[in-house]
Amino acid sequence: MKIQRIALHTLVIGLGLSLLNCGKDESPTPTDDDTPTETFYNIASATINDNEYTAPEALSLMYSIDNGESYSSEQPQDMSTGDELWIKINNGSKDIGEDDFYFDWSNSTPVPADAENALAKFVVKQANPVINVAVEDKVELLVVNRHSGQFSIVDLTDGGMTPSFTILEGEVGLERIRGVVYNYNDHQIYISTSKFSQTKSKLHIVNPKTKQATVINANAEDDWAGIADLIVTPENTILATISQGQGNGQALLEFDTSGTYSEPKLFSGDNTICCGLGLVYGNTNNELIVGNGAVNPANLFKANLNAEITEAIELTLVDFTGVESNSDIYIRNLVKDRTGKIYATCFNDADGDIHLSEIDLETNEMTEIVKFESSSEVQYNGLVFIPAYAF
């Protein structure tokens, strides 16, 4: 009987343990699918739109995930929600900034807090970031004091001037600057100077980094009396309006970038062109607009590349300070911005002042922006657009 009780007790304990084991087997066992996991994000794409960027250096993006402590050209991997991604732009030797360029990050996802900053700061959210930045040249309008070679940036909102740099000839400022153009092909500035006494009108090239002028055509044969204004052609030549001297007429003269020139093309047509000789392209690169003065004052003329005058445009002066008659106005320099607006410097023969103006070819009006006070030591010429990175 004792043996039977022991056996029965053993059976009961075994059955209890068996039931317990069955209960354990039927309960859910945690799996990998139930374990919380973190989602990581990588940059989906990164693009620089440089259609309006003209500097010679190539651009690249630099990335930081440690709040700007360090940057790398390698895209960061496995970023988490809430991480900050900082991105700036480098040109191979330095970072570029708002002094020289405009930035637009607004087509990125997510959009950074300041979409117009050179440095964009992104917060990683619930998707792989898409980086898209447009970089555009900041282009300044400048005039030069022809007596000192001092260039100043012009504020088109009020005509205010900020001194910027001086073009030097040796150790002194280049004097009698008349026409100026920036060449986006070789990133050099081309400058003409006026004749003065026995000093001839010449053509110079200037490296904007050194600001030193080098003569590329000294007009050794006296082939022109003066170079008025300059433009760069699609063929990378320098086209100039020139005076051939008293009684010899006005012409177009084309230089290559070394200063060698071709035969002048004398302006021809039913209208007489003279004196002001500001020069800019019209609606196409086959149409020129030329500023006039003296014989037909405050007029513009359209001409083709053969210097044949095709149309005369009589301008109405608007808000010109102290100008009693448009017969006193000479249109000396013409420039056009990227939107197609045309600006001019006009010399008032009555008092020697220079007026900066905007020309509207829809209404044929020329409206003063500001009158630059002039004197025997201060007079402004050389109206020119130059990208800020160049100087």
* Per-residue pLDDT, 197: 85
* Per-residue pLDDT, 32: 53
Please identify which residue in the block is written with the tokens 């070789």.
186
Rounded distance between C-alpha atoms, residue 39 and residue 206, angstroms: 56
The strands making up 342-348's β-sheet, listed across from edge to edge, are 316-318, 365-372, 354-360, 342-348, 329-336
Segments in the chain below pLDDT 50? 1-28, 31
* Per-residue pLDDT, 307: 97
Sequence letter at residue 389 = Y
Q: Are 293 and 307 in contact (CB under 8 A)?
A: no
Rounded distance between C-alpha atoms, residue 89 and residue 73, angstroms: 10
Q: Are 281 and 264 in contact (CB under 8 A)?
A: no
In order of their start, the domains of the chain are 45-136 (no CATH), 139-390 (2.120.10.30)
Residue 95: helix, strand or coil by DSSP?
strand
Q: What is the pLDDT of residues 273-329, one digit of tens each?
A: 888 999 999 999 999 999 997 777 789 999 999 999 999 999 999 999 989 888 889
Residue 235: helix, strand or coil by DSSP?
coil
CB under 8 Å, gap of 24 or more: what pairs does 319-322 form?
319/367, 319/368, 320/355, 320/357, 320/366, 320/368, 320/371, 321/355, 321/368, 321/371, 322/348, 322/351, 322/353, 322/371
Sequence letter at residue 312 = A
Those residues with Cβ within 8 angstroms of residue 43's Cβ, 6 or more apart along the chain or in another chain:
75, 76, 128, 129, 130, 131
Residue 328: helix, strand or coil by DSSP?
helix
Q: How many CB atoms lie within 10 A of CB 172?
A: 10
Q: How many CB atoms lie within 10 A of CB 49?
A: 13
| Pair type for strands 130-137 and 120-123 | unpaired
* N-term to C-term CA, the chain: 114
The pTM of the full predicted model, rounded to 2 decimals, is 0.88
* Per-residue pLDDT, 245: 85
Rounded distance between C-alpha atoms, residue 42 and residue 124, angstroms: 9
